[in-house]
């Protein structure tokens, strides 16, 4: 019985270490942004979930006045659902809440382009995208 308990506990630890979030398609998307970030900035030294959180919640300038922040549509936190301008519900952005997030490169590219232009009036840099993804994957 003791052995079984130990084995179960070990399995639980291993599973939580690997994380429900591990996903090869998502890893490949992040790796692509690492390569781009290095090309854009030779001093690049890794993505930061902390910077990603600040970016997600910040009020930006340069974009459309009705969407100053990612949270304008995506809700105040990664765990809360959001809403499009037309009132359609958007599932939470945290990977722990919406498990198939950031697994389709075309979808990720399309929405980064569209949303960064709405909020910032420009495309996001690879570092901004990677920081954002690192934050959402950690949540």
Q: Binding to ligand HEC by residue 135, rule CB under 6 A?
A: no
Q: Is there a contact between 121 and 62 (Cβ–Cβ < 8 Å)?
A: yes
37 CB-near residues (< 8 Å, 6+ apart): 44, 47, 125, 126, 127, 130
CB of 3 to ligand HEC, least distance (A): 42
Q: Binding to ligand HEC by residue 67, rule CB under 6 A?
A: yes
Chosen residue from 102, 135, 137, 139 binding ligand HEC by CB under 6 A: 102
Q: Is there a contact between 101 and 81 (Cβ–Cβ < 8 Å)?
A: no
Chosen residue from 90, 96, 97, 117 binding ligand HEC by CB under 6 A: 90
Cβ nearer to ligand HEC, comparing 3 with 86: 86
Cβ nearer to ligand HEC, comparing 15 with 113: 113
Q: Binding to ligand HEC by residue 108, rule CB under 6 A?
A: yes
Sign of CA dihedral 59, 63, 64, 69: negative
Q: Is there a contact between 47 and 54 (Cβ–Cβ < 8 Å)?
A: no
Q: Is there a contact between 50 and 61 (Cβ–Cβ < 8 Å)?
A: no
Q: Binding to ligand HEC by residue 72, rule CB under 6 A?
A: yes
d(CA 58, CA 33): 21
Chosen residue from 75, 132, 134, 135 binding ligand HEC by CB under 6 A: 132
Residues that bind ligand HEC (CB under 6 A): 67, 70, 72-74, 84-85, 90-91, 101-102, 107-108, 111-112, 115-116, 118-119, 132
């Amino acid at each position: 019985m003791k052995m079984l308990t130990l084995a179960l506990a070990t399995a639980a630890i291993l599973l939580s270490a690997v994380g429900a979030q591990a996903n090869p398609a998502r890893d490949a998307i992040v790796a692509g942004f690492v390569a781009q970030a290095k090309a854009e900035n030779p001093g690049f030294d890794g993505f930061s979930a902390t910077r990603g959180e600040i970016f997600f919640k910040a009020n930006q300038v340069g974009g459309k006045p009705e969407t100053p922040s990612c949270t304008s549509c995506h809700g105040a936190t990664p765990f809360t659902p959001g809403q499009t301008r037309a009132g359609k519900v958007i599932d939470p952005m945290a990977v722990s809440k919406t498990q198939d997030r950031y697994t389709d490169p075309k979808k990720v590219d399309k929405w980064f382009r569209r949303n960064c232009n709405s909020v910032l009036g420009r495309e996001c840099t690879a570092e901004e995208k990677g920081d954002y993804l690192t934050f959402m994957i950690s949540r």
